[in-house]
Structure 1
């Protein structure tokens, strides 16, 4: 099955960036069983039934993002998933009390297959709803692809041509179930003429009752669509993007009506922590993440001491540093203001940059801060081992605390 979805996605003209953006905007939500989240919530959250430990969910979510952005194969994803499950002593719920290696591999397959399909489905919706696409393609055609065990209802929809604004696409945009690999193709006026096609009659949507396994309640879903799939992920995503953009945070300029440069450093730092929390919640926009010490301002050759963090950077961080959570992000303002060390770097194509070594508790963090056009940005942020810290110390401006660690006093 994983090979099937990979083949379909390889042929899909969706920009990987669109599929990646869909996955990155999701928040992590732990659930005990499938059905705890309403169906449209799955377009906003990454979850897996029975995965109740946030640290494990974060690692699996990071690998899903990497599978889409870097083309990680299913075999590699499965290998990594089995290792994560072993490290966390996690087993999926099964009808039997005995969980086999095959059960774990089936769960890996389901996570990979469903998330890849959903991401590319959402990316396809975005691609087909640009102003140019709306003008060129007035209709969509439902396509069923051959598989060993086809759903008869999905076969019946194969070849269906409906206007792009038909309500059918709100609840029946594929995938329409577990391991469903149906797709939608755009249809132009020329396509209609060349193939002598006609617009289909919109099929009646017959609702059937299904039992939600998490709540025990009976819910109505369209016939032929699995529970939790009767929504258009791309449509939900785009509506959310527009809503978040309208209320996205921006870097502070004033605090309680006073210019930020005139308030006490502690007050400004508290405002920065609050802004980072808003950025994590809104999943859009940019904020002031810290105030540079004078020595770093001089090193970068800038006049503004403000450091900006945007949501795109947070999304990229999730690919390789899924262990970074809210607590670490909200510690950034203090670490920027009072770094353990400042490490000069060679100017890159985008301008000068420095590495700051920050400390939160007993953990050390590496922050790359650089100038991009007229803005000083936090470009990357992740935990580092003491061995790496010691290496960086050799070419840094070192504070007293860092010198103690270098001399083995801690």
Structure 2
């Protein structure tokens, strides 16, 4: 990531990125497998946070870091002292949700770095998605950009430079981050810059992968990975990242608007939603159920 990108991600306060973090609720989880795909866009969670107050502290620190443009070092220094005082630090023997004692790794510098980088990248890319959707009329093509250094994953390297139409379904899943600590991004291209480079709409392929049995119930857990074939190699987000964070955020915001409309007088809701439906981005963010309700309301 070049210096300009680092500044954009971690040294500024992009309003859409902050909004992405603030619109999340928080959800206690024990295993990372408990929160997959779209859930990342609607709830903030950290595995092995059995106490809500600890999770709240971490969440508040992440939001504050985004708002204030705090560096990783500042974020880690301030949050580590809080977590250490509360005992959420180091390897400890703790009770899992079933009441059994288990040796687990709680807070650590490595863990805080992963929390910081993953959440900042998710927030930044969600904000970027909203901004790029707002300029789709002038920049109708998007290009995947990887870092391409010794730490770059092969799948991400193979996506580097590929250009697809902004409305191509490929972006529903292959929109970064594609994994923990993913540093990739997407760059919008104007019509003149992208029309000779855009690739045909690829065939999307979905596979189901085993992500391990629930250690308490024994029930097998699975995740979906949706991607494409490049040189006959399957390229897809890692388990748990099979959703476009920005699109999920906009869908959640659209749902909130519809929920509020459903709670008000039908005549007021009809006037409000008629105006909002004139915005293609709002209309495209609606779920099938919400869109059906809105269209029925507008017909009277």
- State the TM-score, normalized to the length of structure 2: 0.72
Matched, 1:67 2:69: no
C-alpha contact (below 8 Å) 1:35/1:228 kept by paired residues: yes
CA 1:198–1:20: 2 relative to 1, 3 Å: same
Largest Rg, 1 or 2? 1
Structure 1 residue 59 displacement after superposition: 1.1
1:233-312 equivalent positions in 2, closer than 5 A: 233-248=245-260
**Counterpart selection for 2:176 from 174, 177, 202:** 174
* Structure 1 residues without counterparts, runs of 5 or longer: 253-410
Q: Equivalent residue for 2:132?
A: 128
Contact residue 174 and residue 180 of structure 1 kept, 8 A: yes
Does residue 43 of structure 1 match 2:47?
A: no
Q: Deviations for 1:353-376, whole angstroms, at most 9, x for unmatched residues?
A: xxxxxxxxxxxxxxxxxxxxxxxx
For residues 347-358 of structure 1, the aligned pairs below 5 Å read: none
Give 1:106's match in structure 2, choosing from 110, 126, 131. 110
| Residues 88 and 39 of structure 1: CA distance in aligned 2, closer, same or farther (over 3 Å) | same
What is the aligned-residue RMSD (CA, Å)? 2.9
Which position in structure 2 is the counterpart of 1:189?
191
Q: Does 1:147 align with 2:149?
A: yes
Asked whether the equivalents of residues 20 and 69 of structure 1 are also in contact (C-alpha less than 8 Å), the reply is yes
1:212 paired with 2:211, answer: yes
Q: Does 1:10 align with 2:12?
A: no
Change (3 A) 1:23 1:45: same
SS at match of 1:128: helix
Alignment of 1:297-376 (within 5 A): none
Aligned residues: 241
Aligned to 2:201: 202
TM-score of the two chains, using structure 1 as the length reference? 0.54
SS at the partner of 1:239? Answer: helix
Aligned to 1:221: 225
Stretches of structure 2 lacking an aligned partner (at least 5 in a row)? 93-101, 215-219, 227-234, 265-300
Distance 1:41 1:92, change over 3 A: farther
> Which one scores higher on RCO, CA 8 angstroms, separation ≥ 6?
2
Separation of aligned partners in 2, 1:83 and 1:249: 44
Partner of 2:242: 230
Conserved in 1, the CA contact under 8 Å of 2:148 and 2:157?
Answer: no
Q: Does the CA-based 8 Å contact 1:26-1:43 persist in structure 2?
A: yes
Equivalent residue number for residue 86 of structure 1: 84
